[in-house]
Structure 1
Amino acid sequence: MADGVSPAMESLDILNVLRLLPHRYPFLLVDRIVEIDGDNSAIGIKNVTVNEPHFMGHFPERPVMPGVLIIEAMAQTAGAICIQHAKQIKPSVVYFLTIENAKFRKPVVPGDRMEIHVKKVKQRGMIWKFACEAIVDGGKVAEAMISALLSAEEPE
């Protein structure tokens, strides 16, 4: 803002997340966004439950959330703030462009409450880049740099 004062933090319940993101069960991986600081950063929440279909095969005796789904939760959290703050173009789709420096430090398992922290690193036009971390019980379980493209075009 011009006066140097940050706007009040926003949050989005599941109904508002559903209004922003096109994803639905079983691929919606953000239950709530508890904090949005403009288009600069956000904290999303994923409540991991044993009822999720990927746990039937990953792994039946010791369920672990697949790393690609942790990355997707990061992308969905970042995508929500892109769409929320790019209303002037009314994007119809957000394309995942890159994943860089992904690291997985600890398994995410049923019963975990995963916080997804995303922070905008760069924006050029409709291309956005974010530094992302997934945190469980105060400890970092994964991190990555991701980028996305907002498009006003209708998908074919």
Structure 2
Amino acid sequence: MSNELSTIEINEIMELLPHRYPFLLIDKVVDFEIGKSLHARKNVTINEPFFQGHFPIKPIMPGVLILEAMAQATGVLGFKTIEKNDDTLYYFAAIDNARFKQPVVPGDVIDIHVEYLKERRGIGKFYCEAKVDGKVVCSADIMCARKD
């Protein structure tokens, strides 16, 4: 990524993504390079609604929600790469090679790293890693379909 950070704050993220509380899972974009890569961040707190049932005695962030946060990060990179009109959406089309390495718990900060790989027939392919304290907690290849 560049030496000068290109950040995106929550208000602009909300302009790009249709997700809202409790399903908006990105708090900030720390840096991105159009058409190449993005680094987003999610601060995990005990106040997350999913911790009420997953699991009350030993709260762990559900893996599917880590994947969803990664997919939302790919959507932000997609919207910053390709001009967005008001009706454009990116749909989570497929996932391959998903791996979970360790649990994510309240107090963790997830750093999501997205790398744009290619686009073919309107489907963008991205490689994503979610890290906590520099250690990979989840990785996957994510495909998103652009819908105008």
Q: TM-score, normalised by structure 1?
A: 0.89
Please say if 1:53 is aligned against 2:49.
Answer: yes
Moved more, 86-95 or 47-56: 86-95
Query: Residues 52-91 of structure 1 correspond to what in structure 2 (within 5 A)?
Result: 52-87=48-83
Checking the alignment, whether the CA contact within 8 Å between 1:75 and 1:146 is kept in structure 2 is yes
Residue type of the alignment partner of 2:66: I
- CA deviation string 1:12-66 (max 9, x = no partner): 0111111111100000000000011112110000000000110000000000000
Bigger Cα Rg: 1
**Which segments of 5 or more consecutive residues in structure 2 lack a partner in the other structure?**
none
Q: How many residues align structurally?
A: 147
State, as a whole percentage, how many aligned pairs show the same letter. 47
The answer for unaligned runs of 5 or more in structure 1 is: 1-5
In angstroms, what is the RMSD of aligned CA positions? 1.6
Aligned residue in 1 for 2:106? 110
C-alpha distance in 1 between matches for 2:20 and 2:85? 23
Aligned residue for 1:146? 142
> Per the alignment, do residues 121 and 9 of structure 1 end up closer, same or farther by CA in structure 2, a change over 3 Å counting?
same
Counterpart residue identity of residue 91, structure 2: Y
Q: Name the residue aligned to 1:3.
A: none
Segments ≥4 residues shifted beyond 4 Å? 6-9, 88-91
Find the counterpart in structure 2 of residue 25 from structure 1. Answer: 21
